Amino acid sequence: MNAVTAQCLEMQPMTEDDLGEVMNIEFLVCPFPWGRGNFKDSMDSGYVCRVFRLEGKLIGYFVVMPVVDEAHLLSISVSPKQQGKGYGSQVLREVFNAARELGAEKVLLEVRPSNTNALALYQSFGFKQIGRRRDYYPAIGGREDALVLTCGTEEVAA
């Protein structure tokens, strides 16, 4: 970990008060972003929703839906200004901690094949492709498939 990433992120449950900052990041990193209602519905449904702050500034978040013995990672993002500094790994590690707290045996997610940075991060954690969802994501000029990835929670250290 380099000197920049040695800084500890402060993790907190996502609240409605965070949604303005969450939406700012969401619109910067996602070509077809979730709406404010998606995040509010996730919180209201009891999903694990966390935000991460660096020196008080929100720089990332995730949303995890518990499903029987797995944790479905629905959303994860790090502010573009903070990408490439190791914070994505810290946030993803917390996804696994949350999954273990839920009693999940694995984490499941979908990712765009075109999102090569996210795909590389997931693969570095040991995620393996188990499927493909055809035309899953909206895309400019049509639709884009989703790669379905999974990784066992015991495979990633706390």
Active site residues: 110, 122
**DSSP type of residue 7:** S
Query: What span, in angstroms and rounded, lies between the C-alpha atoms of 156 and 158?
Result: 7
Query: What span, in angstroms and rounded, lies between the C-alpha atoms of 32 and 99?
Result: 26
| Residues near 142 by beta carbon (within 8 Å), at least 6 away in sequence | 135
- Other beta carbons within 10 angstroms of residue 90's beta carbon come to 19
H/E element, 61: strand 57-67
Tokens of 149: 């990835």
